[in-house]
Amino acid sequence: MSWALSRRTVLAGSVVAGTASRRALAQAGAWPSQPIRLVVPFAPGGTTDLVARLVAAGLQERLGVSVIVENRAGAGATVGSEAVARAAPDGYTLVMSNIASHAISPAVYRGRVRYDPVADFAHIALVVSNPTVWVANPRSGIRTLQDAAAKARGPGGLDVATSGAGSSNHLMVVRMGQLIGVELNHIPFRGAGPAMQAVIAGQVPMMSDSLPSSVAHIRQGSVVAVGMASAQRHPAFPDVPTFREQGFDLASDSWFGLSAPAGTPAAIVERLNRETRAFLGSAEVRARFSELGGTPGDLTAEGYGDFVRREVALWAPLVQAAGATAD
């Protein structure tokens, strides 16, 4: 009797699971039939926002539905990321996952991040990676990293702006201070856009930034590029020396990708990966990213998921060793 009851329970469960599976496949087959929301977990004007708008335009053209960018900044990109982790896994809510939201902030905001950067997301595609650049207000008197070090050791120290606590640029500020031997004054903003405006206005003398959001300002002369945190000089800015050339053993790349809530049907994830990679592979888009100093990604959805997993494992101990916190 108990066996029969158990068997009926198993069969009922199989029917339910089969129905859910068929429903998911049906939804995926009809997808997309309405606008898609792409959440940017930073304020407008920064690299994440810039990349998201390029991706939105590309996907909109390829999918035939509107892709609406929504900025939800706060707490080192964790506010917008958490909102997406809790959203319906139907393919209509995506997030620009990045090195801050999915690798560094969970370690910086210890115990305050209410999502798992691996388990709570279906990671779709790596979009672009690029180096960190440090820029300064032209009136600050800072032209080299040695100038910055001298100011840091002087009265009042050196204020350095970033897109927010928990960003890779925040960690660069902490690590640079350790090399100089003086703690730098980290000035976090709610995104690279507001931080850059503060530097241009002279409210903060210097900024640690992802290269794409600084490119236009460097070329316009609104800010001076002081050092590139890349292994070699960047081809777009051959006159800007690397950190290592200036005596500081630091290199840092930022990365940006596309993710959805965990449980999003595999067929939708694969479709988004396919369309994103096709968009990134076009000569026009590759040229545009090259102008911005970025390298387009080309990973499968599984490959991007593995990439995020490795980044989480890499950055947690580095954050702890550096002593970076959100406070």
Q: Tell me, what CATH number does 302's domain have?
A: 3.40.190.150
Say yes or no: 103 and 149 in one domain: no
Angle at 77 between CA 181 and CA 27, to 5 degrees: 150
Q: Give a yes or no: residue 45 inside a domain.
A: yes
Residue 278's pLDDT is 97
User: Which residues constitute the domain of residue 189?
Assistant: 131-246
3 falls within a domain? no
pLDDT at 9: 42
Q: What is the CA radius of gyration of the chain?
A: 22
Supply the pLDDT for residue 33. 97
Residue at 1 is within a domain = no
Residue at which a domain ends, from 191, 211, 246: 246
Cis geometry, peptide bond prior to residue 317 (ω within 30 degrees of 0): no
Q: Which helix (H) or strand (E) holds 121?
A: strand 121-136
pLDDT at 207: 98
Give the per-residue pLDDT at 111: 79
91 lies in a domain? Answer: yes
* 104 and 45 in a common domain: yes
Q: What is the pLDDT of residue 226?
A: 98
Q: Which pLDDT belongs to residue 22?
A: 43
Predicted pLDDT at 260: 98
> Is residue 4 in a domain?
no
Domain co-membership, 126 together with 201: no
Residue 100 lies in a domain: yes
Q: Is the pTM higher than 0.75?
A: yes
214, 246, 278: which is the final residue of a domain?
Answer: 246
pLDDT tens per residue across all 327 residues of the chain: 333 334 444 334 444 444 444 454 445 569 999 999 999 999 998 899 999 999 999 999 999 999 999 999 988 899 999 999 999 999 999 999 999 999 988 888 887 899 999 999 999 999 999 999 999 999 999 999 999 999 999 999 999 999 888 888 998 999 999 999 999 999 999 889 999 999 999 999 999 999 999 999 999 999 999 999 998 999 889 999 999 999 999 988 899 999 999 999 999 999 999 999 999 999 999 999 988 889 999 999 999 999 999 999 988 888 887 777 776
Q: Can you give the pLDDT at residue 29?
A: 67
Quick one: 157 and 201 in the same domain?
Answer: yes
Closest CA to 261 of 116, 51, 134: 116
Judge if 49 and 25 occupy the same domain. yes
| Last residue in a domain, options 246, 269, 296 | 246
Same domain for 31 and 95, yes or no, is yes
257 in the same domain as 242: no
Q: What pLDDT sits at residue 290?
A: 87
Predicted local confidence at residue 327, as pLDDT: 64
The count of domains in the chain is 2
**Are residues 241 and 150 part of one domain?**
yes
Question: What CATH number has the domain bearing residue 175?
Answer: 3.40.190.10
Q: What is the DSSP string of 69-114?
A: EEE---TTTHHHHHHHHTS-SSSSEEEEEEHIIIIIHHHHSTTT--
